[in-house]
Amino acid sequence: MKLISWNVNGLRACLGKGFTDAFEALNADFFCLQETKLQAGQVTLNLPGYHQFWNYAEKKGYSGTAIFAKKEPLSLRLGLGVPELDTEGRLITLEYENFFLVTCYTPNAQPELARIHHRLRWEDAFRTYLVGLDKEKPVLICGDLNVAHNEIDLKNPASNRGNAGFSDQEREAFGQLISAGFTDSFRHLYPEQTGAYSWWSYRFHAREKNAGWRIDYFLVSDRVKDQIQEASIHPEIFGSDHCPVELDIDL
C-alpha cells in the first residue's frame, strides 16, 4: 500500500506547476494534501479511480486539507471534534477495516512564537485524538506537522533554535506524541540520514543549497512499524516549497 503526503502551498498554484504529472507518476493508493488554500467549488479535479475528501478553512484562501483515496472508507471525520480548533480545515480522518488514515496540517507557531499557545492546545488535542483512535485500530498519520524534531532534521539547527518549528515547546510536544505510541517512519528506517528535508524557504536559494527542514511526516502506530516497507522523500518533485513524502506499508 502506497501513500503520499504533500503540502502543496496552494493547490491552484500547484496545478500550474506540474501537480497532475506528479500525481499520475506517483500513482499512490492514498494521496493526502495540506495547505490547499481552497473553498468548495474553486477547483474541479478529474481524478478517475479516486474518491475525494476535502476539509476547508472558514477563512478564504487559507489552510485546508484533502485526501484522494482509491478505496472508499467506512467512515469520514473532519477535524478533531474541538470546535475552537476546527475552523481551519486542518484534519481529515478516513476509517478502513484495519486502520485509520489521518492527514494533518498543524498550525504554525508564527514568528516570535506569536501563536504558540494555540499551537500547544492543538498538540494536546491532536495527541489525545490519535491515542483514542489507536485504541480501536492502528493509525497512519501524515502531513505537515510543522516541526523539525531533532537537530538532524534541519540544516541549521543552531541558528534556528527557539524559532517556530524548532522551539523547545514544539519539539517536546512532538516527542510526547511519539512516546504515546507512534513511530516516525522515516527515522525508523533511516535513523542517521542527514540532508533529508521536505521543506525549503523560498528565500536565499535554500532549495538549491538544500538548506531545508524535515517537517512533513508519516507516523504509524508502534505495533505496525515492522510492516513499514519504505519511507521516501521526493525532493526531485517541485511545485511547492514542500516536496511529497511517501510511505509504503503492508497492512
What angle (nearest 5°) sits at the alpha carbon of residue 248, between those of residues 243 and 251?
A: 140
From 50, 56, 134, 144, the catalytic residue? 144
What contacts 48, CB < 8 A, 6 or more positions away? Answer: none
Q: How many CB atoms lie within 10 A of CB 58?
A: 11
Active site (annotated) includes residue 190: no
Distance of CA 233 to the CA centre of its chain: 12
From 56, 105, 129, 197, the catalytic residue? 105
Helices 116-134 & 168-179 angle (0-180, nearest 10) = 10
Active site (annotated) includes residue 105: yes
CA distance 5 to 246: 6
List the catalytic residues.
105, 144
